[in-house]
Amino acid sequence: MQNILQHFRKDEQPFIERVIEWKKEVEDRYAPKLTVFLDPREQHIVQSIIGTHDEINVYSEGAFQEAERKRLYIAPSYFEPTIKDFEIIILKLTFPSKFVELRHPDVLGALLSLGIDRKHFGDIRIDKEIIQFACTKEIALYVKTNLTKIGRVNVRIDELENMEELILPQDEWIEKVLTVSSMRLDAILSNSFNISRQKSQNLIRGGKVKVNFALCEETSYELQEGDTISCRGFGRFKITRIEGRTKKDKIRLTIGLFERK
């Protein structure tokens, strides 16, 4: 256990312990395990701990093309899941779009106000007046029954039957190679957005920065491969690969900068 934990951050240890429990459960019962929706960093951790295991395979599905949030299926080598095994439901939301515009935070806020944990929801896709979101099968009926308004806007929710109608990605990731002195949040933030180190520190301390969708106000927070960082007013990026070190002992890494199409 200690050998595994040393490769990850302290704040990730509770999740890592859960992953190890999932692995043991699959080994002991020789039966598959379906997770809730995981963010990209959590997916990376699961793949790091279980992905190379000979007797266990990890499969992922988020329903949408290029989905960020996915459910993982941890299964013995004899078992290969179908799309139905992931138990993902796509709900479509209609509203009087002539009079109002709904954004991602509006939709997510309304869903969470139902008292349902974020882990039960996958990606939310918006294309003009069309809104779709992924959720676990177990809470789909509850959402359809109870979500009747977003703010003051009346909404109607139906299950999407035709998967060919799924909203395609509205954005793309632009690859960029960085050379940094350390994996500190302030260092990588300043390099990614071409701003001063001081400005990046002010943004972090001012509550403008999130790491893996959670607020982070620690300038020296150590980032790792698979992390997704967002900064209000600047955008979002993810650390896709840590390539190694240069001759001058700098860290070379590749990030994906989020860009709206």
Q: Which domains are delineated in the chain?
A: 7-83 (3.30.1370.160), 88-165 (3.30.70.330), 171-260 (3.10.290.10)
Return the pLDDT at 8. Answer: 80
Burial (CB < 10 A; 0-12, 13-18, 19+), residue 41, is buried
d(CA 38, CA 220): 25
Backbone phi, psi, residue 201, to 5° = -65, -40
Residue 261 pLDDT more than 60? no
Residue 260 pLDDT more than 70? no
Point out the least confidently predicted range of 45-54, 69-78, 79-88, 225-234.
Answer: 45-54
CB atoms within 10 A of CB 223: 25
Angle between helices 185-193 and 197-205 (to 10 degrees): 120
> How confident is the model over 104-120, as pLDDT tens digits?
889 999 999 999 999 99
Residue 51: pLDDT band by 50, 70, 90 thresholds?
A: confident
Return the pLDDT at 1. Answer: 52
What is the phi-psi region of residue 65: left when phi exceeds 0, alpha when psi lies from -120 to 50, beta otherwise? beta
For 240, the token pair is 């896709």
Point out the least confidently predicted range of 5-14, 18-27, 72-81, 236-245.
Answer: 5-14
Angle between helices 40-50 and 13-29 (to 10 degrees): 50
> How confident is the model over 62-72, as pLDDT tens digits?
999 989 999 99
**What pairs with residue 72 in β-bridges?**
60
pTM for the model: 0.81
Pair 44, 226: CB distance under 8 Å = yes
Q: Read out DSSP for 43-77?
A: HHHHHHHHTT-SSEEEEEE-SSTT-SSEEEEEEET
Chain mean pLDDT for the chain:
91
> How confident is the model over 248-257, as pLDDT tens digits?
999 999 999 9
